[in-house]
Amino acid sequence: MNSLSIFNKNCVKIRLNHLRYYSKRRPELPKCDFNANNSKSRLGNFEIETIHKLNLNPCLKPWYQKPVLITQGYMQYVWDNENKRYLDMFGGVATTSVGHCHPKLVEATTKQLKKLWHTSSIYYNEEIHEYASNLANRLPEPLNNIFFCNSGSEANDIAILMARLYTKSYDIIALRNAYHGDSTSTQPLCGVQSWRFPLPLHFGIHHTTNPDPYSGRFGGSNCRDSIIQTTRQCDCEPGHCKAEDMYVEDLEQLFDSTLPKNVCAFIAESIQGVGGVVQFPKNFLKRAFEMVRQRNGVCIVDEVQTGFGRTGTHFWGFEGHGVIPDIVTMAKSIGNGFPLAAVATTASIAKTLTEASYFNTFGGNPLASCVGLNVLKIIDEENLQNNCHIIGSKLLTELENLRNKYPDIIGDVRGKGLMIGVELTSSAVSIQHKNIKERKPMIKADFDSILEDCRDMGLLIGRGGPKGNVFRVKPPMCINEEDITFTIDVLAKAFDLHNERSAKRRNKYL
């Protein structure tokens, strides 16, 4: 055997040993009995990529160096065109609530498809009435009037319109770092730069300081309603949050300086979603509502990502703040991925839209109402809200343990139930730093590499935050303890690989 053959043989042996070592340490997906027999794509990768470039709008930007072509889903899992299975811990941005292609939902929807798809609201149909009654019964009085529509942006459009008609005022207060949709009327509400276009859309919208206990000006380890607190030091006294006082003072200064005596509305998410799963100091929302109502404004809560039991302790996120809003908007989990959304409000506010003609062609049609009603039934029958609380609390605790193990990578763990954020920081930051403000957000290249590693190991997870350095964990609400174990193992492996890459970079320049 010549020297070249020996060299090639040794290279193969080294590669095989590496693969065996990696395989041995590679986390294994929990077992799944479902047979993904429809995972083969009708189109090849080249056709997909060509059509994507030529015929789909350029705003649709897939993640990963090699985009994942998802062809089938079942409960908390999805499969790609090569029949590789993934645990979906993003749920289509907190949208897949009861599970991909849930058998009960598939059965109910198929039955409705054979009965009645669509008819105009000028006729009665039983589906919309049954659904409206069921949904209204889950809301506190007097939120008993429901408008159905098709997306969260549209729901917030309707909420803004009704608020301005009802109060006869125009000025709306939103939070920095908030996201409320991407239409021409909701985009001005957004306080995240990446979602803003250079257009004159800002009339009547005012942003106040975002009350973020982790990276905001005030806050620390005793400020938010979560079983996991930030490691940032806090001098708040038990039962009283000084950060809350400071953020309320900022809001009061906004009222007293740039706003008229009467305002239209204040809008906030129960927990900020796109902004990186940011939670407010415990009583901030309650005090903000009081200030708004003193100025004859109405209070709008955006439950697009937090509603339908996802936070675990309550069905609606606002209930965790001890408030009752005047208008509630909802979407995403409401239809488990079906294009469905809703606005709930009082009879007097709802009546404002009768001053002129208002009509929604598809909102709450028989098929959409069937989907929405059965999503509610499944949440109840399978006790998914409680699962969010139990499984979410366990996942948060395990993520806190990861933060303790990788303090130079994980800056913060936060959230409630199965709405969780994990903020990653620069690996160059010394673990001796105790002031959280000294931490730098992890750079995009490093974050992307960790995201790729997770994908390679079968874990799909979200990203968000104003710097794009926050893992957004919002899976189908049916996940179990085995899924948690797998998620934690994958993240730990991905962080180890990140540390190895960082060490190689450092050694290269020594």
Q: How far is it, in rounded angstroms, from Cα 479 to Cα 482?
A: 8
For residue 116, give Cα distances in angstroms to 214, 366, 379: 50, 7, 24
Span 131-162, pLDDT tens digits:
999 999 999 999 999 999 999 999 999 999 99
3-state secondary structure of 4: helix
Q: How far is it, in rounded angstroms, from Cα 187 to Cα 3?
A: 66
Q: Is the pLDDT of residue 13 over 70?
A: no
Residue 499 has what pLDDT?
93
Q: Is the pLDDT of residue 220 over 70?
A: yes
Residue 59 has what pLDDT?
87
Angle made by CA atoms 32, 36, 38, in degrees to the nearest 5 = 165
Span 232-276, pLDDT tens digits:
888 777 677 889 999 999 999 999 999 999 999 999 999 999 999
Q: Is the pLDDT of residue 37 over 90?
A: no
Q: How far is it, in rounded angstroms, from Cα 187 to Cα 157?
A: 10
Closest C-alpha to 490, from 20, 24, 25, 33: 25
The model's confidence at residue 281, banded by pLDDT at 50, 70 and 90, is very high
Residue 383 has what pLDDT?
98
Return the number of other C-beta atoms located less than 10 Å from residue 226's C-beta: 19
Q: Is the pLDDT of residue 436 over 50?
A: no
Please give the model's pTM, rounded to 2 decimal places: 0.91
Backbone angle region of 356, left / alpha / beta, with phi > 0 → left and psi within -120 to 50 → alpha: beta
Q: Is the pLDDT of residue 431 over 50?
A: no
Q: Is the pLDDT of residue 169 over 90?
A: yes
CA dihedral 280, 283, 288, 289 (to 10 degrees): 120
Residue 433 has what pLDDT?
43
Paired with 386 in beta bridges are: none
Residue 295 has what pLDDT?
97
Span 313-338, pLDDT tens digits:
999 999 999 999 999 999 999 999 99
Tell which wins on pLDDT, 200 or 78. Answer: 78
Q: How far is it, in rounded angstroms, from Cα 409 to Cα 182?
A: 32
3-state secondary structure of 482: helix
Span 416-429, pLDDT tens digits:
999 999 999 985 54
Give the sign of the dihedral formed by CA 93, CA 96, CA 101, CA 105: negative
Tell which wins on pLDDT, 59 or 400. Answer: 400
Paired with 327 in beta bridges are: 300, 345
Tell which wins on pLDDT, 87 or 56. Answer: 87
Identify the H or E element spanning 472: strand 470-473
Residue 268 has what pLDDT?
98
Write the secondary structure of 65-108 as one string of H (helix), E (strand) and C (coil). Answer: CCCCCEEEEEECEEEECCCCEEEECCHHHHCCCCCECCHHHHHH
The token pair at 445 is: 């290249």
Q: Is the pLDDT of residue 14 over 80?
A: no
Local structure of residue 38 (DSSP, 8 states): T
Averaged pLDDT, 38-51: 83
Residue 44 has what pLDDT?
82
Averaged pLDDT, 360-365: 92
Q: What letters, b where the CB count within 10 A reaches 16 and e where it falls short, cover 313-341?
A: bbbbbbbbbebbbbbbbbbbbbbbbbebb
Q: What angle, 0 to 180 degrees and rounded to 10, lies between the N-to-C axes of helices 481-508 and 384-405?
A: 30
In the chain the domains, ranked by start, together with CATH numbers, are: 20-94+384-500 (3.90.1150.10), 104-381 (3.40.640.10)
The token pair at 507 is: 């050694």
3-state secondary structure of 34: coil
Are 471 and 502 in contact by the 8 Å Cβ rule? The answer is no
What is the phi/psi pair of residue 344, to 5°? -115, 135
The model's confidence at residue 2, banded by pLDDT at 50, 70 and 90, is low
The model's confidence at residue 19, banded by pLDDT at 50, 70 and 90, is very low
Q: How far is it, in rounded angstroms, from Cα 301 to Cα 270?
A: 7
Q: How far is it, in rounded angstroms, from Cα 131 to Cα 430?
A: 54
Q: How far is it, in rounded angstroms, from Cα 96 to Cα 146?
A: 22
Q: Mean pLDDT score of the chain, rounded to an integer?
A: 91
Span 437-489, pLDDT tens digits:
467 999 999 999 999 999 999 999 999 999 999 999 999 999 999 999 999 99
Span 74-118, pLDDT tens digits:
999 999 999 999 999 999 999 999 999 999 999 999 999 999 999
Are 225 and 285 in contact by the 8 Å Cβ rule? The answer is no
One DSSP character per residue, 197-209 reads -SSS--TTEEEE-
